[in-house]
Homo-oligomer: A and B are copies of this chain.
Amino acid sequence: MPESKTARELSAREVKRRRILRAAIEVFARDGYYSARMTDVAKEAEVADGTLYLYFDGKEHLLLSVFDDVLSRFIDQLKTEVEKLEDPFAKLKIMIRLHLETLGRDRALAHVLQIETRHSRRFMGLLARGKLGEYLSLLKEIVEEGQELGRFRRDINAGLATNMIFGAVDELVNRWLLVDPSEDLVRHQTPLLKMLCQGIVPCEFHEGAAE
């Protein structure tokens, strides 16, 4: 019976699924996850309320699916791009650029990923152990590879470095969303990368600052 479904049928289902996810992004971004009503998501997706539940297990699962779906595609893209490169520094550069580009071109999505998905410990725990963890692993691998090649400092903890890089980028997106909504997010890419690589203290003072 499932075999009788043609590719076109499956695709029709997927199309509707995407429409619902997109609607969820818009509505969650507009009203906030808690204030958003499922009926409004349905309206935005132009389906009946009940239809949402044919595609997702409930409101929370819908939010989780937005996150996973987007991050899955993002990670796939990232891997493709990263594989083309040799230099860990270049890899790091492309990761930051794609991160900023992806969110910078879709405010609603950025809003949902940065804010609405972080509303509870339980939910953040789910994310951390899911696709987000995968993203961070990818980042960490690049750092470690760079350390092995001697391109990145060997005396730093790779996990901590990953943490700093992600924290800096993440916070940048937050500022963009909350404080400078009109600015161009990607323009910070180069200066941020440079700062992450070189630190904020000139080399001649590294000794003193190392203390």
| A43 interface residue (CB < 8 Å to B) | no
Is there an interface contact between B196 and A200, defined as CB atoms closer than 8 Å?
yes
Stretch at the interface among A61-69, A73-81, A186-194: A186-194
Per-residue CB contact flags for chain A residues 121-164 toward chain B (1 = under 8 Å, else 0) read: 11011001000000000000001001000111100110011011
Is there an interface contact between B209 and A178, defined as CB atoms closer than 8 Å?
no
Chain B residues within an 8 Å CB radius of A156: 191, 194-195, 200
Of A160, A167, A191, A210, most B-chain CB atoms within 10 Å: A167
Tell me the smallest distance from the CB of A184 to a CB of chain B, in Å: 13
| A120 interface residue (CB < 8 Å to B) | yes
Across the two chains, which residue of chain B brings its CB closest to A147? B200
Chain B residues within an 8 Å CB radius of A55: none
Chain B residues within an 8 Å CB radius of A191: 156-157, 160
Is there an interface contact between B200 and A153, defined as CB atoms closer than 8 Å?
yes
Q: How far is the CA of A152 from the CA of B160 in the complex (A)?
A: 22
| A166 interface residue (CB < 8 Å to B) | yes
What are 30 sample pairs from A and B whose C-beta atoms fall under 8 A apart?
Answer: A32-B120, A34-B119, A35-B120, A115-B118, A118-B119, A150-B202, A152-B200, A153-B200, A153-B201, A156-B194, A156-B195, A156-B200, A157-B191, A160-B188, A160-B192, A161-B195, A161-B200, A163-B171, A163-B175, A164-B167, A164-B168, A164-B195, A164-B196, A164-B200, A166-B171, A167-B168, A193-B209, A197-B206, A198-B199, A203-B203
Known: A121-B178, A164-B196, A165-B200. 10 other contacts (CB 8 A): A89-B209, A118-B119, A150-B202, A151-B201, A156-B195, A163-B172, A167-B168, A194-B209, A195-B199, A197-B201
